[in-house]
Amino acid sequence: MNEWFETVAEAQRRAKRRLPPSVYSALVAGSERGLTVQDNIKAFDELGFAPHTAGHQGGRELGTSVLGQDISMPVVISPTGVQAVHPDGEVAVARAAAARGTAMGLSSFASKPVEEVVAANPQTFFQLYWAGTRDQITQRIERARAAGAVGLIATLDWSFSMGRDWGSPHIPEKLTLREAMRFAPEALTHPSWLSAFAKTGKIPDLTVPNMQDPGKDAPTFFGVYGEWMQTPPPSWEDVAWIRETWGGPFMLKGVTRVDDAKRAVDAGATAISVSNHGGNNLDGTPATIRCLPAVADAVGDQLEILLDGGIRRGSDVVKALALGARAVMIGRAYLWGLGANGQAGVENVLDVLRSGIDSALLGLGLKSIAELDRSSVLMPDTFPRALGLQRA
């Protein structure tokens, strides 16, 4: 099989073939009926372009900056938890992002420690959940700072919604002998995935090193999940406290409403991500691309706006930038690349997106992503969803 793939859809198909079913299903599932997952993707189809016939530009500029970091393209790695699709996990993703000149978002629920990931990509943003005590959260922030993380992401777009109509894959707390035997039929029928781990002499690691308290062993994913569930949800004062404690470039992830975007400005955020956690939050939330225009109109001149959700093509990136985003964050797309072909697969996904961005700019007759605005897309009047507007 030719290892190169030309679309993110092909990366997904190859990842589905290579990964055991329960591992793959964890990458595609969303909460409840999956309405938001579907809308995140389908909404892009409602936006169109009006390409030029002549007068195209010979070269195009795709670079931008996010949280003070210059990047070669307007695509950033979104933080995702425990990446057991490949033994190198987040380190492979970080290397791929660095090789393509962009930034890495590292989840606090990741399978690799922040120190290793920053070493692989100095442009790493550390993502934080509001879990545990303020002392524990401070310790995690200071660890990320000491490791060299250049930005902090606070994720608030994940609720306690755990139900999935199609069922959730079984994820053990620890990979005991009993759990290994239960998983064996899946693993044995996917030898390339199994052999990748066998070569390392290690089994998939389900511990979460970045949530490790000093003097204690790294907790399991479900251990920190339980800690998060038992922690009272954060207030806007808590958000401001995180920003002040970090003291550097700070992104608030999970904004879909105009009133929340304005509160993020008040809390001192450098950036926000218009995000619904990839459809894993409250099902029935509109696609993020539908929410973007109203948020951009309200606060686009006061902080950086990124979009997270449903990006599958470079043209999707261009549509998001035209509606007010500075850059986008990708999640499932790079995980499929990682599952299909490791670090090279992630680089492949980034190359596919870069090519698609460049192609769309060429067709629009633009020489830079900075020239994109709403005149670049055809947006039906019924498309946007303006959430959280003050009533007259």
* SS3 assignment for 310-331: CCCCHHHHHHHHHCCCCEEEEC
Half-sphere exposure at residue 198, Cβ-oriented, CA atoms within 13 angstroms: 8
Tell me the two tokens of residue 345.
């697969």
CB-CB contact of 75 with 326 (8 Å):
no
Q: How far apart are CA 87 and CA 91, in angstroms?
A: 9
In the annotation, is 277 catalytic?
Answer: yes
The CA-atom distances, in angstroms, between 375 and each of 104, 292, 340, 366 are 31, 15, 37, 12
User: If we measure between CA atoms, which residue out of 335, 380, 328 comes closest to residue 356?
Assistant: 328
The answer to whether the beta carbons of residues 238 and 130 sit under 8 Å apart is: yes
Distance CA 81, CA 320 (A): 25
CB-side neighbour CA atoms (13 Å) of 281 = 20
Would you call 31 helix, strand, or coil by DSSP? coil
From the candidates 52, 170, 190, 277, give the one annotated as an active-site residue: 277
Q: SS3 of 264, please? A: helix
Find the helix or strand (DSSP H, E) in which 85 lies.
none
Beta bridge partners of residue 304, listed in sequence order: 271
Cα–Cα distance, 80 to 106 (Å, whole number): 7
> What is the four-CA torsion angle of 33, 251, 90, 202, rounded to 10 degrees?
-80
Catalytic site residues?
277
